[in-house]
Amino acid sequence: MVQPDTIYALSSGRPPVAIAVIRISGPRAGDALKALAGRLPEPRRAMFARVRDPKTTEIIDEALALWFPGPNSETGEDAAELQVHGGRAVIAAVFSALSQIDGLRPAEAGEFTRRAFENGKLDLTRVEGLADLIYADTDVQRRQALRQLQGFLGQRAEVWRTKLIEAQALVEAGIDFSNEADVASDVLTRSLAAVHELAHEIGDALADAKRGERLREGLVVAIAGPPNAGKSTLLNRIARREASIVSPYAGTTRDVIEVHLDLDGYPVILLDTAGIRETDDPVEREGVARARARATAADLVLWVVDATAPALMNAPQREHQDCWIVQNKIDLNPAAALPDQPRSFGISATTGAGVEHLVKVLSAHAADVLGSQEPALVTRERQRTALREAASALDRAITEGTAGREDVFAEELRLAARSLGRLTGRVDVEDILDVIFRDFCIGK
């Protein structure tokens, strides 16, 4: 086998910063650290080091050096870390010194994590959790990502896969005894019982209203309604900043503006949409079309109407989508009557009256939709697809097994185990690896 390259990258944030962390991983990591820091520190202990350019021996910086011999390192390979001062010239000089060492090259995005995966340190669901942890914006997203990184789904999938393989082995052994009819039918019954239980557990994991994916992506709330009702003013008020153009002229908001909110730890994406109306202006018409599309796909619509023009109150009625009525500009018409609906609000986007209450109810709604039940096992479409495939193979297995066709039964169990193997990355995943690791930053 060819030796892998030794890779290095800046793993901390964009310079200039106080401290920059440069990581090195691969068979030559130890040589590289010795070349720059003079000697190897004790494993996993920080050592003060003068980092020198190995060619000129000039001191580049004073640093902390760490040494993580494989296989007990994050990547599973020999790995080293230099904590230098986070200036651009310092980092450039360290990189230049590293690049002069044979067998070293800069890492690609996600390459450290990919090596950890390839060396069996992380399964794919944990890799996905790690990516989500890096991108988590809110506390509840962080918790979900950390659970995944700790193997919440991955461990469960391994337990399921092991049980499946046992059930399959049992029935295959039974097939060999098929001249002893009693033995064969007994093992089939036992293995069918196990498969029923597994199908049930996987079915439960899938019946989660996609809470995990929604929490990852955020609850999408579209502010929609007739032009000039005060939609943009409301978005700005909620976002507490001028994220959207507010103007007294109808048709100003032509694109979809989105603001990411953290409501008590729950991620909400608030969309401001162009006023929905018939228009001859092609640019505005495009805005209206986009607004309709986003509003249609949103989880919740805040339908904003002008309390001084109550004629324009027809909110869209869609199945599978909540729609709340927000009567705005009550400062101009305090006597405006709220429509007889469970979720209707009277607010003034300019004075702020009623907005706090609206946000509070929105927050509670987000908590309810995204997180009130037990934590979701499935947090990505890829995981859902693999589990669905396993579930349908198990359904077919149950049909075949019940009809006494042991060989087809065993084959379906094998397919189900394979789908679970794809979920954790044990089998057949070459094609998806590039997609998963591409999402990582360089240095992770």
Ligand X SMILES: Nc1nc2c(ncn2[C@@H]2O[C@H](COP(=O)(O)OP(=O)(O)O)[C@@H](O)[C@H]2O)c(=O)[nH]1
Residue 328, binding choice from ligand X, Mg ion, none, Cβ under 5 to 8 Å by partner class = ligand X
Partner touching 12 among ligand X, Mg ion, none, CB below 5 to 8 Å by kind? none
Place of tokens 């048709």: 251
Sheet holding 59-68, edge to edge: 47-52, 59-68, 79-86, 17-25, 6-10, 104-106
Partner touching 329 among ligand X, Mg ion, none, CB below 5 to 8 Å by kind: ligand X
Q: Interaction with ligand X in 224-263: which residues (CB under 6 A)?
A: 227-233, 246-248, 252-253
**Shortest distance (Å) from residue 412 CB to Mg ion:** 55
Contact between 354 and ligand X (CB under 6 A)? no
How does DSSP classify residue 312?
-
Rounded least distance, CB 233 to ligand X, Å: 3
The CA-based diameter of the chain, rounded to the nearest angstrom, is 88
Q: Which residue has the tokens 């709330």?
A: 221
Half-sphere exposure of 132 (CA within 13 A, CB side): 29
Q: Which of Mg ion, ligand X, none does 331 bind, CB closer than 5 to 8 A by kind?
A: ligand X
Question: In DSSP terms, which residues pair with 293 in a beta bridge?
Answer: none
Using CB under 6 A as the binding rule, whether residue 421 contacts ligand X is answered as no
- 301 φ/ψ angles, rounded to the nearest 5 degrees: -115, 130
Q: Cα–Cα distances in Å, from 350 out to 232, 239, 241, 332, 339? A: 11, 13, 13, 11, 21
Region of 158-166, 197-205, 253-261, 404-412 interacting with Mg ion (CB under 5 A): 253-261
348 binds ligand X (CB under 6 A): yes
Q: Does 331 bind ligand X (CB under 6 A)?
A: yes
Q: Is 350 in the site for ligand X (CB under 6 A)?
A: yes
Q: How many whole angstroms separate alpha carbon 331 and alpha carbon 350?
A: 8
Using CB under 6 A, count the residues that bind ligand X: 20
Residue 121 or 231 having the CB closest to ligand X: 231
Residue 29's binding partner among Mg ion, ligand X, none (Cβ under 5 to 8 angstroms by kind) is none
Tokens found for residue 45:
């202990």
Under rule CB under 6 A, residue 291 binds ligand X: no
Measured CA to CA, the distance from residue 222 to residue 287 in angstroms comes to 14
Kindly state the smallest distance separating residue 352's Cβ from ligand X, in Å: 9
Hey, which residues between 151 and 210 contact ligand X (CB under 6 A)?
Answer: none
Under the binding rule (CB under 6 A), the answer on residue 365 touching ligand X is no
Number of Cβ within 10 Å of residue 47's Cβ equals 16
| Contact between residue 97 and residue 53 where contact means Cβ atoms under 8 Å apart | yes
Residues 220-249 that bind Mg ion (CB under 5 A): 231-232
What residues form DSSP beta bridges with 200? none
Least Å distance, CB 273 to ligand X, is: 9
Touching Mg ion, residues 71-110 (CB under 5 A) = none
Spell out the alpha helix ranges (H) of 150-281.
152-176, 181-206, 211-217, 231-239
Which residue, 231 or 382, has its beta carbon nearer to Mg ion?
Answer: 231
Binding-site ranges for ligand X (CB under 6 A): 227-233, 246-248, 252-253, 275, 328-329, 331-332, 348-350
